[in-house]
Amino acid sequence: MANLSLALLRYLDVLSNKRKNAQGKRKSRWAVIRNTNPQLKTTTIKTWLDWFPENEWGTFSWSVPYTHRINVGELELEVIFLALDRPEDVKKLLSLELTGVWVNEARELPKSIIDACTMRVGRFPSMRDGGATWYGVIADTNAPEEDHWWPIMAGDVPVPDHLSRDEALMLVRPDNWNFYTQPAALLEDKNTDGTLKGYKKHKKCENQNNLTQNYYNNIIKGKMKGWIDVYVMNKLGSLEEGKPVYPNWNMEIHLSKEDLEPANTTVYVGIDFGLTPAAVFGQKLPNGRWLILQELVCFDMGIARFSELLKYEFAKHYRGLDLEIYGDPAGDFRAQTDETTPFQILRQNGIMGKPTHSNDVALRIEAVETSLARLVEGSAGFLVDHRCINLKKRI
C-alpha cells in the first residue's frame, strides 16, 4: 500500500484544495505519521525524498518537526513528519491545523491516534481563503493481526465478544471510511488434496514495473509461511518469532478450515486467572481426536465479571452438554488484598471449577505435543477452530 499512498499524495495538492487565494496560491498542509522516529527517518522520509527530491521541490528541514515546504508555481504545500506510537502522543496533534494526514504502516498505531487525526483535518486552509475542497485521512499498512482494529473495522473479522458495548461501537466502520485490499503478490499453488506445494506469480500484482522479475520468488526463500502470508500474500496474521512452544504445531494441518461444532460429549474448559483471564473450550471425541472449539480472552477484567461471560458462553454454545472445568492451581490461593480465591468466586457464580493436578509447564507442553503429533483416521489428532485468534498465534 505504501507505493499507492505515495502516488495519491503526489496529486493530493490538487484534490485537497483547488481554490486559489488572493495571491493566486493553492495552499495545503499535511502531516505524515509513522510509529517511531527511526522508522520515520530511515523509511518514510527517505522514500518521500526519493519521490520529491529537494532540488525539484524545495529544501527539506531536518529540525523537529521535520518539514518539507513545497512552493512551486501555484502550489504551496507544507508537509510535516511526525512519530506517534502511543495514545499520549495524541497531544502532538492537538495544535495542528491540517488539510489531511497520511498514516504510514497503520498496524503499528493505536486507533486513538487515527481518531485524533480525523479531528485535525479540514482545518487548513482557513475559511477566509475558501477552505479545503477535499480533506481527510489516508492510511496504508502491511497485513495486521486479526485482533487489530483495522480488520475489525473493515469487517474482515467480528468484533470480539468480550468488549463492552461502548468499546464495540468504537470499532464499527463509519459510513465515510473505506477500506481497500491490495492483491497478493503471489498465488498459492496447491496439490489436489489441498496441501501447499509452492507459489506462482499473480498477474494482478502491483508495482511490477519497479521490481526485478523474480523479486517475490527470491524473498520468500527460507521464510516461514506466517511471514509469507503477511508480507507477500497480504493475509491477516502474526509473525512467528523465536523458538516455538510447540514445534509440532502446523497451521495448515492443525487449524480448521471451517467452523467447528461441539459434539454430544463432555466439554472441557481450561481457565487461567489474573487481570487478563482466558478460557479454552475443547472436546475429546470417542476416536481420541481433540477439538479446540473456542477461546475467550479478556483484558483488565476481574474473575467475577469473567465468570458472567463464561456462564453466557456455556448457555449459548454448550447448553445440555456435560462440562468439566479446570483452572490454574494458583487460583486456590487467596490474594493479599482479598480473602476470596478465584475458585470461590467461580462457585459463587454457579461454576464448579477444579484446580488441575499439576502446574508443571513441561508436563503441560508434553501433553499438547503428544496430541499434535498424532493422526486419527488419517487426519490431525488435534484440531483448533480457525476463529481462535489468540490461541493460534501463541500455540
Domains of the chain, CATH where assigned: 2-141 (3.40.50), 186-241 (no CATH), 253-394 (3.30.420.280)
Whether residue 14 is predicted with pLDDT greater than 50 in this model: the reply is no
Number of H helices, E strands in the chain: 14, 16
Across the range 175-192, mean pLDDT stands at: 92
The three three-digit cell numbers of residue 2, written as one number: 505504501
In this predicted structure, what is the pLDDT of residue 72?
A: 86
Q: How far apart are CA 147 and CA 139, in angstroms?
A: 18
pLDDT on residue 8: 46
How far is it, in rounded angstroms, from Cα 254 to Cα 248? 9
Distance CA 211, CA 213 (A): 6
Mean pLDDT of the region 296-315: 89
Output the CA angle 332-325-379, nearest 5 degrees: 135
pTM of the predicted model, to two decimals?
Answer: 0.68
Q: Flag whether pLDDT at 194 surpasses 80.
A: no
- The number of beta carbons lying within 10 Å of the beta carbon of residue 302 is 15
Which residues, at least 6 apart from 239, have a Cβ–Cβ distance to it below 8 Å? 224, 226, 227, 230
Comparing 3 with 68, the larger pLDDT belongs to 68
Which pLDDT score is estimated for 140? 94
